[in-house]
């Protein structure tokens, strides 16, 4: 199964969609359907957050410059919340979520797999 060497590269590597098309030509509909669903959910989440989020108070919207003192107070108030156990639980959950997203992203796109790399002859 040959392919044009100039049609499916992204920065010297084959794009993930091109790899799926080349390896599994019968699955292209599922790939585009999955991508479409993912993009639709992302757009809906942006819309939901923009409609449901509270607006900043006018006093905060009009403020242009932030002083070092205000930044320090914000950091101090953030650290004060660490005395509550429920706030401490958020730290490992946040780390886990970040690792999980990286893992799923690498698995879904096939990053790091030798068969998905493009090596020019």
Per-residue pLDDT of the chain (121 residues; tens, 9 = 90+): 444 444 444 455 566 667 766 777 777 788 788 888 989 999 999 999 888 887 767 766 666 677 888 888 888 988 888 888 888 888 899 999 988 888 877 777 765 555 555 555 4
Sign of the Cα torsion 36, 40, 41, 42 reads: positive
Q: Are 116 and 19 in contact (CB under 8 A)?
A: yes
Q: Please report the pLDDT score of residue 8 as a whole number.
A: 47
For residue 10, give its domain range.
1-53
Q: 120 lies in a domain?
A: no
Q: 5 lies in a domain?
A: yes
35 and 80 fall within a common domain:
no
Q: Is the pTM of this model over 0.75?
A: no
Indicate the SS3 state at residue 37: helix
66 and 47 fall within a common domain:
no
Q: What is the total count of domains within the chain?
A: 2
33 and 74 fall within a common domain:
no
DSSP 8-class letter at 64: -
Nearest-10 crossing angle of helices 16-23, 28-52: 150
77 and 94 fall within a common domain:
yes
Q: 121 lies in a domain?
A: no
49 and 73 fall within a common domain:
no
Q: 14 lies in a domain?
A: yes
DSSP state string for 83-120: GSHHHHHHHHHHHHHHHHHHHHHHHHHTTT-GGG----
Q: Please report the pLDDT score of residue 60 as a whole number.
A: 65
Calpha distance 116→111 (Å, rounded): 7
Q: Within its chain, how far is the Cα of 44 from the centroid?
A: 15
Q: Please report the pLDDT score of residue 40 as a whole number.
A: 94
């Amino acid at each position: 199964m040959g392919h044009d060497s100039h049609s499916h590269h992204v920065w010297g590597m084959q794009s993930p969609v091109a790899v799926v098309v080349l390896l599994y030509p019968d699955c292209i509909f599922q790939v585009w359907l999955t991508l479409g669903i993912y993009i639709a959910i992302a757009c809906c989440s942006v819309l939901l957050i923009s409609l449901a989020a509270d607006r900043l108070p006018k006093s905060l919207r009009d403020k242009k410059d932030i002083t070092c003192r205000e930044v320090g107070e914000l950091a101090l108030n953030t650290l004060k919340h660490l005395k509550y156990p429920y706030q401490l639980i958020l730290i490992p959950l946040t780390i886990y979520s970040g690792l999980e997203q990286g893992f799923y992203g690498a698995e879904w796109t096939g990053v790091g797999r030798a068969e998905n790399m493009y090596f020019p002859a």
